[in-house]
């Protein structure tokens, strides 16, 4: 899957705490996964970076400098994401990793830990209980 190009409305059944994250000089879409880049700013690039949360609303800082705008991120709760992996009911409880701002997988290599599979919805969609405290 490629990086998001549109907002992904947040579907959350258990809203959690929120934090403000200074945004990198890029566009962060609603409902996408946010990671800390090497300078500590919120970014949609995973690659093993620390997971910061799920973006509450779109923030377009692509025309500014890093930190000019803040993203607001949920740090707890169950969020529903689509996956390119084929999921099954037996995957509930497995660790879930982000590969970019919208793609999730069960493969850890080169990816960022975001939480555990809390609910099986379909072969391509699961509920993920995000786990920011243990993402590093």
CB 25 within 8 A of CB 61: yes
Does residue 13 have a pLDDT over 90? no
Question: Does residue 15 surpass a pLDDT of 70?
Answer: no
* Residue 69: predicted pLDDT: 98
| Cα dihedral 39→116→123→101 (10° resolution) | -10
Give the largest CA-CA distance in the chain. 45
Residue 1 has pLDDT above 80, yes or no: no
Residue 132's pLDDT is 86
Ranges of each domain in the chain: 18-74, 78-130
Residue with the bigger pLDDT between 21 and 14: it is 21
Please tell me the least confidently modeled range out of 8-12, 19-23, 75-79.
8-12
- Asked if pLDDT for residue 6 goes beyond 70, the answer is yes
Predicted pLDDT of residue 39: 96
> Tell me, what's the pLDDT at 127?
94
Q: What is the mean pLDDT of residues 99-113?
A: 93
């Amino acid at each position: 899957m490629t990086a998001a190009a549109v907002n992904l409305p947040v579907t959350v059944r258990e809203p959690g705490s929120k934090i403000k994250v200074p945004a990198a000089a890029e566009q962060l879409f609603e409902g996408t996964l946010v990671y800390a880049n090497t300078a500590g700013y919120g970014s949609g690039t995973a690659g093993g970076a620390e997971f910061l949360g799920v973006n509450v609303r779109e923030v377009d800082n692509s025309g500014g400098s890093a930190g000019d705008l803040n993203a607001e991120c949920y740090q707890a709760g169950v969020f529903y994401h689509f996956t390119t992996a084929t999921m099954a009911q037996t995957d509930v409880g497995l660790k879930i990793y982000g590969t970019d701002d919208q793609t999730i997988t069960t493969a850890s290599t080169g990816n960022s830990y975001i939480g555990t599979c809390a609910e099986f919805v379909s072969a391509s969609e699961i509920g993920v209980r995000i786990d920011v405290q243990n993402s590093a």
